[in-house]
A and B are shown apart, each in its own frame.
Chain A
Amino acid sequence: MSTATLEKRGFGATLWDYLTTVDHKKIAILYLLGGAFFFLLGGLEAMLIRLQLMVPDNELIGAQFYNEVMTMHGTTMIFLAAMPLIFAFMNAVVPLQIGARDVAFPFLNSLGFWLFLFGGVLLNCSWFLGGAPDAGWTGYAPLSIWSPTHGVDFYAVGLQISGFGTLMGGINFIVTIVNMRAPGMTYMRMPLFTWTAFVASILILFAFPALTIGLFLMTFDRLFGANFFVPDMGGNEIIWEHIFWIFGHPEVYILVLPAFGIFSEIISTFSKKRLFGYSSMVFATVLIAFLGFMVWAHHMFTVGMGPIANSIFAIATMAIAVPTGIKIFNWLLTMWGGNIRMTTPMLWAAGFIPTFTIGGMTGVMVAVAAADFQYHDTYFVVAHFHYVIVGGVVFGLIAATHYWWPIMFGKVLDEKLGKWTFWTFFIGFHLTFFIQHFLGLIGMPRRYWKFLPGQDLETGNFISTIGALLMAVGTIILLYNVIKTTVKGEMCSQDPWDGRTLEWSIPNPTPHYNFKQLPLVRGLDPVWIEKTQGNGKVIPAEPVNDIHMPNNSFLPFMISLGLFIAGFGFIYRPDTSFGYVLIAIGLIITFGSMLIRSLKDDTGHHIHKEDLEKEGAGVE
């Protein structure tokens, strides 16, 4: 098999393979590694926050450093951990679920990853170059404009670079899903993870350009003397808030919709039932996405937009509870009467439902504009968004890690350790954040460096920190599980969970062309249909034929490297004329690589029919 030859290769050859790969399965692994690295970094920052707030009047870390840690925790977790991890699973699974041999734009796929990585590394270089960004992950003006260090410059330029990558990834998945579904895979037969990936990609397409402009304006103000957010010169700070949240609110749904998709797959598989209310699930997904664009100003109730605007945005926000409620009940009714197996992924799904429901309920509470004046900028809001982002997105990503590990690495993660991860992380999570609702209600503001003794905040904060430590333990167990399985685990069968969707019909390890013959899809849950109504094998839709595959390329790495270098140039241009040299070098590398890509023909290569037949008969 092809992987056997892979293993015999030296380290250098494997490294080069990953640096130049355009294979969606390898890019998925790169995204997983990159996202996991930043997840650990963001987790470390979270631990510092909690340790600082463990006892009143603590002097563990300084105020300025606290601001940097708090800013980077949010920024890292949203942009550099959650987004790439979502992309990891979209890359690993979506082409397999729709019966495609690759994504629509393999080159762009690779470019998207390298842009994300170089953007993230650039942002984190700020730690060693005079201080990280310190204006909060939302970067509100005027704080972000007057912040004296280069930190916020790194924020603007780093997120700009990684944002380009995300936008490309989004377009790539939309086109892949529209154009490259296997014969018979109609829209209403697509697995729900593919549906949510599709809708999230559309959200990316329409939300990220707003961030692009917001970051450009910020960069212009800070580095090029523009006056967008300077009231003295006619500027207006509220513009930043609007643009940021026009991006920022859909971003929440970009993250959580794929998590909904993950849970829909897991709950259906481990209940041995077709997903209850499939069409209403699809409808709810699209409706959430649509409404998600109409609610951005609920982050700005206290800005002073007036009662009419506040009411409109409050009601639109509350309306989102309806499609979300539809989903919650569909998951419950999928489990109802099902043949439930409490595996690790299913445990996460079961833990997700009540957790996310609590987050949704506090969401409706903060959506009441009048009441929000009380909740705004307190730990109540912190508790709310951690319940939806950790309880929804992080739970989903960990569940997906366990569920699709066999697809990505050919092995099943240890179930016993998986359950230990769940219980420590789950209990730790609720211990950390449940109490924060009450801390917020009795008036503890968010983002404060320390709190004072004698204000009834000691016990709550102490409990919260203990919970955070427990979450760290859960994460360490997960890491240990990954290492143990990688070193000692054995290759599993192609279908260890008794799956329902097409990714489970592919031999383990997955051949790099995915499907020798494109599959014929006969309905929703195609593999399950063949298991119950056919002979268990998916019917091929074509004879064995030559397969067209894209060529590897080093150019995505170079394009991203060029922007990375130019990014430093832009940041240091106001200080030193050497900045111009860096800008020139970087842009020459980037645009030069783009020109090479444009001028050099790259028509891909073919895997010949004869070689395919040598690897085994056509029909599995």
Chain B
Amino acid sequence: MSTHEDVLSSENLPHEPEKATLEGKNKFLGFWFFLGGETVLFASLFGTYLALRNSFGNAEGTPTQELFGLELVFIMTVILLTSSLTSVYAMYHMKNHDFKKMMVWLAITVILGASFLGLEVYEFNHYVHEYGHTFTSHAFGSAFYALVGFHGAHVAFGLCWILALMFRNAKRGLNLYNAPKFYIASLYWHFIDVVWVFIFTVVYLMGKVG
């Protein structure tokens, strides 16, 4: 039986510190289920987007073929997918109890995530000012910003989350209490990467050729 002190100690960590306590196991399983719910959330948004894509009614608007440019979106995709890889490295070092290397890789993940977000802001700004493609201009605009914006908000939340964990634990190292927290934050990060793969395919690729 573990006591408070054991949970917060960095000594003698087991092989998989993220799943060594009941709290950790609960967090791990609960978070997977939460991601199941998130999948339905994004599925509803994808469905709405597909129904309203290029749907302008009586309003003026630019169709997807002219609106999207694949170059920037491709760079964004590479950046976000790479950040998924770096978060895997971070978790690899966590399982080997190497706190410092984990923090380094998490920092790289955060930098990549932030650059993705910066490019997305640039992209939205470009659509609004060059094409007048806004949230309120027509149903397509509403559906586009709802879907891609929801994803962007998830990225922003993930960045804040990982940064909060890094600052909070910077001075005390890995333990059984914070290992599950790091682990589910990385699960979340993978999830928003997977959602982006679908956005890249359904919104941008299908928008360009469909």
Distance in Å: Cβ of A244 to nearest Cβ of chain B: 11
The answer to whether B45 has its CB under 8 Å from any CB of chain A is: yes
Known interface pairs A236-B52, A603-B177; A226-B26 also in contact (CB < 8 Å): no
- B-chain residues with CB within 8 Å of residue A538 when the two chains form the complex: none
- Please report the C-alpha to C-alpha distance between residue A548 and residue B56 in the assembled complex, in whole angstroms: 59
Known contacts: A209-B37, A210-B44, A220-B146. The answer to whether A234 contacts B30 by CB under 8 A is no
Q: Are A599 and B164 in contact (CB under 8 A)?
A: yes
Asked whether, in the complex, the Cβ of B142 is within 8 Å of the Cβ of A599, the reply is: no
B41 contacts partner chain A, Cβ-Cβ < 8 Å: yes
Give the residues in chain B near A206, CB-CB below 8 Å.
36-37, 40
Q: How far is the CB of A612 from chain B (nearest CB, A)?
A: 13
**A-contacting residues, B1-38, CB 8 Å:** 1, 3-4, 7-8, 22, 25-26, 29-30, 33-34, 36-38
Task: Write out the residue numbers on chain A whose beta carbons fall within 8 Å of the beta carbon of B4.
Answer: 603-604, 606
**Docked pose: A601 CA to B168 CA in angstroms:** 10
B136 within 8 A of A: yes
Closest to B30 in A: A175
Report the bound CA distance from A575 to B45 in whole Å: 28
CB-based contact A235/B41 at 8 Å: no
Majority-rule SS of A interface residues? helix
Question: Are A228 and B30 touching (Cβ within 8 A)?
Answer: no
In contact, A235 and B55 (Cβ under 8 angstroms): yes
Q: Is the CB of A226 within 8 A of B146?
A: yes
A212 to B52, CA, bound (A): 19
Decide yes or no whether B210 CB sits under 8 A from chain A: no
- How far does the Cβ of B20 sit from chain A's closest Cβ, in whole Å? 14
Judge whether A246 is part of the interface by a CB distance below 8 angstroms: yes
Q: What's the minimum C-beta distance from B49 to chain A, rounded to whole angstroms? A: 10
In angstroms, Cα B165 to Cα A617, docked, is 44
Contact for A243 among B29, B44, B56, B140, CB less than 8 A: B44
A214 an interface residue at 8 Å Cβ cutoff? yes
Task: Report which of B3, B143, B165 forms a contact with A228, defined as CB distance below 8 A.
Answer: B143
Residues of chain A with a CB closer than 8 A to B135's CB: 220, 224-226
Contact of A236 among B8, B51, B141, B164 (CB under 8 A): B51
Select the stretch in A166-174, A298-306, A314-322, A445-453 that faces chain B.
A166-174
> Are A233 and B139 within 8 A (Cβ)?
yes
Contact of B57 (CB < 8 Å), options: A167, A235, A595, A603: A235
Task: Name the residue of chain A whose CB is nearest to the CB of B168.
Answer: A599
Query: In the bound complex, do residue A174 and residue B33 qualify as a contact, i.e. CB atoms below 8 Å apart?
Result: yes
B48 within 8 A of A: yes
Across-interface contacts of B25 in A (CB, < 8 A)? 179
A234 touches B59 (CB 8 A): yes
Chain A residues with a Cβ closer than 8 Å to the other chain, count:
49
The answer to whether A179 and B58 touch (CB under 8 A), given A206-B37, A227-B139, is: no
Asked if residues B1 and A545 are in contact (CB atoms below 8 Å), the reply is yes
The residues of B that contact A232 with a CB separation of less than 8 Å are: 57-59
A603 touches B30 (CB 8 A): no
For the complex, give the distance between the alpha carbons of A171 and B37 in Å.
Answer: 9
Closest to A228 in B: B142
- B33: which A residues are within 8 A, CB to CB? 171, 174-175, 205
Give the distance in Å from the alpha carbon of A206 to the alpha carbon of B136 in the complex: 30
Q: In whole angstroms, how far apart are the Cα atoms of A242 and B1 in the complex?
A: 50
User: Are A231 and B34 also in contact (CB < 8 A) when A175-B26, A236-B52, A599-B168 are?
Assistant: no
Choice from B3, B34, B165 contacting A598 with Cβ under 8 Å: B165
Is the CB–CB distance between A217 and B146 below 8 Å?
yes
Given A205-B33, A220-B146, A598-B168: A236 touches B55 (CB 8 Å cut-off): yes
A235: B residues at CB distance < 8 A:
52, 55, 57, 139, 142
Are A601 and B177 also in contact (CB < 8 A) when A179-B25, A209-B41, A214-B44 are?
yes
Bound CA–CA A167/B40 (angstroms): 12
Asked if B138 lies at the interface with its beta carbon under 8 angstroms from chain A, I say yes
- Given A213-B44, A228-B143, decide whether A234 and B138 contact each other with a Cβ distance below 8 A: yes
Cβ distance A547 to chain B, nearest Cβ, rounded Å? 10
State whether the Cβ of A414 lies closer than 8 Å to any Cβ in chain B: no
Q: Is A105 an interface residue (CB 8 A)?
A: yes
State whether B1 touches A546 (Cβ < 8 A): yes
A53 within 8 A of B: no
Interface readout for A197-224 with B: 1 if CB under 8 Å, 0 if not? Answer: 0000000011111101110110011001
Known: A236-B139, A598-B164. A228 touches B48 (CB 8 A): yes
A235 to B140, CA, bound (A): 8
Contact of A234 among B52, B161, B181 (CB under 8 A): B52
Query: Measured between C-beta atoms, what is the minimum distance from B172 to chain A in Å?
Result: 10
**Minimum CB–CB distance for B68 against chain A, Å:** 18
| B residues 147-165 in Cβ contact with A at 8 Å | 161, 164-165
| A218, chain B: closest CB distance, angstroms | 12
Which residues of chain A from 363 to 393 have a CB within 8 Å of any chain B CB? none
Q: Is A441's beta carbon under 8 Å from chain B?
A: no
Which of the residues B30, B138, B142 comes within 8 Å of A172, measured between beta carbons? B30
Q: Does A267 contact B (CB under 8 A)?
A: no
Inter-chain contacts of B34 with A (CB < 8 A): 171
Task: Give every chain A residue within 8 A of B59 (Cβ-Cβ).
Answer: 227, 232-234
Task: Quote the shortest CB–CB distance from B124 to chain A (angstroms).
Answer: 15
Check A175 against B58 for contact (C-beta < 8 Å): no
Chain B proximity of A213: nearest CB distance (Å): 4
B162 CB to nearest chain A CB (Å) = 11
In residues 159-193 of chain A, which contact B (Cβ within 8 Å)?
167, 171-172, 174-175, 178-180
Q: Would you call B44 and A175 a contact (CB within 8 A)?
A: no
Which residues on the A side are within 8 Å of B52 (C-beta)?
A: 228, 234-236, 239
Instruction: Report which of A205, A217, A595 forms a contact with B164, defined as CB distance below 8 A.
Output: A595
A239 contacts B164, C-beta separation under 8 Å = no
Report B-chain residues with C-beta under 8 Å of the C-beta of A180. Answer: 22, 26
Looking at the complex, which one of A174, A178, A209, A221 makes contact with B44 (CB distance below 8 Å)? Answer: A209
Chain A's nearest CB lies how many Å from the CB of B31? 9
Q: Does A506 contact B (CB under 8 A)?
A: no
A224 touching B136, Cβ below 8 Å: yes
A228 neighbours in B (Cβ, 8 Å): 48, 52, 139, 142-143, 146
Using A209-B40, A210-B40, A598-B168 as known contacts, say yes or no to A105 and B26 having CB atoms under 8 A apart: yes
Shortest Cβ distance from B165 into A: residue = A598
| Contact of B37 with A234 in the complex, beta carbons under 8 Å | no
Which of B4, B22, B142, B181 has the largest number of chain A CB atoms within 10 A?
Answer: B142
A104 is an interface residue with CB less than 8 A from chain B: yes
16 interchain pairs, CB-CB under 8 A: A104-B26, A171-B30, A174-B30, A175-B26, A206-B40, A209-B40, A209-B41, A227-B136, A231-B57, A232-B57, A233-B56, A233-B59, A235-B139, A235-B142, A239-B51, A603-B8
Q: Considering the complex of A and B, which 4 residue pairs feature the smallest CB-CB distances, nearest first?
A: A234-B139, A234-B57, A234-B55, A226-B142
